[in-house]
Amino acid sequence: MSRIDSAINIDDLKRIAKRRLPKIIFDFIEGGVEDEVGLRTNAQAFRDIRLVPRYYIDTSKRSQKATLFGREYASPFGIAPTGMAGAFRKDAELFLSQAANDADVPYLMSGASNASMEQGAKLAPRNLWYQIYGAKDRSFQLDLVRRAKDLGLSTIAVTCDVPVSSNRERNRRNGFVRPLRMTLPTILEAMLHPEWVYTYFKNGGLPMLGNWQPYAPNGSTPDQVADVFAAQTPDASQTWRDLEAIRAAWPGKLLLKGVMHPEDARIAMGLGLDGLIVSNHGARQLDNMPSPIDVLPMIRAAVGPDVPLLLDSGVRRGSDIVAALCMGADFVLTGRATLYGATAGGLEGVKKAVSILQREIDLVMGQIGAVTLKDLGPQYLLETVRAEEERRNTGAMLAR
Ligand SMILES: Cc1cc2nc3c(=O)[nH]c(=O)nc-3n(C[C@H](O)[C@H](O)[C@H](O)COP(=O)(O)O)c2cc1C
């Protein structure tokens, strides 16, 4: 039995990934910002949701098939964009693309990925989405949109929650800056992870930012391409007008990723977007943000019942996905959960992460009495049940 086979939950995959990676790299995946309050907020918000089951409902033919933008997917979740995944395991984004294709779930490839969208689209022609960061020179973001259009991708997402770089103290302490600042303790610690170190150096160090390679002079090294990217992003001068320009250039489905305020949700939908990703970037940007699951009901109320709302940040269990759907999300994205899989075991690892979440969703649906995703709603939430019972009891008292 391989190590991946022995993983029974996402936390097991995380442990395998952690063993494989030097601390400096694992901390880049795992870390939040400043005091890392946000990481705890995201985890706790899911732990605080209580689902109240109903019994004696025939759930023998459960289905977790989900429809988004008129397209059916195998499950109500997809893979969130995570930049530089190729540094955690060589070709990680190709594994994520392949696994998304095989499992029939979407994969939103990062604008800072190592593989290019052209490579991803070959492996997942119907499942690849692409994520865009605004650039100082707007012609870059519009050219990325053009490339996504030329590939026939169905969906792109613009990430709005990185107006400026965030204060990732783990990275600064570890020397995970460019160029990598390798101190003696970092080097000695890395030696405990020889497989990663060997592959890293065999492949020439930090991998290329594949989507940005065309914007650097021919023959540029990965570092030179990274310089072009770093000179363009983040761009604090982006405004709603830039999103409007992307809307005008992109005929497919357009999502805004990182929406946390109901008013921003209303403005975005007023610009003709197709849906929103409620996200705090996995607690990697502003430390004292609320958890997306806590603002979701307000955002749902702001945009109405028909706007597709996706949610990410803190999802580690199938029950988190079911809870998000009960709270008003239509779809969920997983960041670290699937990344642990890719890092721990490449293609096999991502497949394992996806299948763990699918199995957990299926079991929770059976546990609470839901046959399809349409059955999921606020009626399963403890607070709804309590409020209804209180209303009932008050009504009964008044009738007496
Ligand atoms: C290592 C790493 C890299 C990330 N890179 C990006 C990125 O390039 N673009 C983006 O929009 N979000 C990025 N994110 C945020 C994820 O898309 C997602 O919002 C977040 O991981 C969700 O939280 P979770 O990891 O708790 O599931 C990154 C997250 C991680 C962990």
Task: Given the residues 281, 316, 317, 336, select the one marked as catalytic.
Answer: 281
pLDDT for 183: 85
Which atom of ligand 1 is nearest to 157's Cα?
11
Convert the pLDDT of each residue in 61-120 to its tens digit.
999 999 999 999 999 999 999 999 999 999 999 999 999 999 999 999 999 999 999 999
CA distances to 126, 368, 388 from 53, in Å: 36, 4, 15
φ, ψ (nearest 5 deg) of residue 49: -85, 130
109 Cβ below 6 A of ligand 1: no
Q: Which protein residue has the closest C-alpha to ligand 1 atom 5?
A: 82
Q: In whole angstroms, what separates CA 352 from the centre of its chain?
A: 17
- β-pair type (107-109, 309-311): unpaired
> Residue 66: beta bridge partners?
73
Helix pair angle (318-326, 37-47), 10° resolution = 80
**Atom 12 in ligand 1: which residue has the minimum CA distance?**
81
Q: How far apart are CA 289 and CA 283, in angstroms?
A: 8
Does position 58 have pLDDT exceeding 90, yes or no?
Answer: yes
With the C-alpha atoms ordered 94, 15, 184, 192, is the resulting torsion angle positive or negative? negative
What's residue 397's pLDDT? 86
Question: What's the full length of the chain, in residues?
Answer: 400
Q: How far apart are the first and last CA of the chain?
A: 66
Task: Note the pLDDT tens digit of each residue in 315-371.
Answer: 999 999 999 999 999 999 999 999 999 999 999 999 999 999 999 999 999 999 999
**Per-residue pLDDT at 1 exceeds 80:** no
User: What's the CA-to-centroid distance between 342 and ligand 1, angstroms?
Assistant: 14
Report pLDDT for 181: 78
Helices (H) and strands (E) in the chain, counts: 17, 10
User: pLDDT confidence of 400, banded at 50, 70, 90?
Assistant: confident
- Specify the range with the lowest mean pLDDT, choosing from 8-17, 98-107, 108-117, 194-203: 194-203
Quote the pLDDT of residue 348.
Answer: 98
Are 271 and 301 in contact, with CB atoms under 8 Å apart? no
Lowest-confidence region among 25-29, 124-128, 197-201, 264-268: 197-201
Asked if pLDDT for residue 170 goes beyond 90, the answer is yes
Cα 356 from Cα 8, distance rounded (Å): 7
CA distance 373 to 325: 8
Q: What is the mean pLDDT of the chain?
A: 97
Domain 3-380 in CATH 3.20.20.70? The answer is yes
Ligand 1: centre distance to CA 263 (Å): 23
- Write down the domain spans for the chain: 3-380
The Cα 360–Cα 33 span in angstroms is 30
Q: Is 179 helix (H, G, I), strand (E, B) or coil?
A: coil
> How far, in Å, from the CA of 387 to the mean position of ligand 1?
36
399 token code pair:
């009738």
Take residue 9 and report the two structure tokens written for it. 């939950």
The alpha carbon of 250 is separated from its chain's Cα centroid by a whole number of angstroms, namely 22
Using a 10 angstrom Cβ sphere, with 0-12 exposed, 13-18 middle and 19 or more buried, the burial of residue 366 is middle
Predicted structure pTM score: 0.98
Question: Does 281 qualify as catalytic in the annotation?
Answer: yes
14 Cβ below 6 A of ligand 1:
no
Which among 30, 33, 41, 110 is the best mutation to test ligand 1's pocket, defined by most ligand atoms within 8 Å of the CB? Answer: 110
Number of other residues whose CB lies within 10 A of the CB of residue 69? 16
Percent of the chain with pLDDT over 70: 100
Rounded distance, CA 289 to CA 261, Å? 11
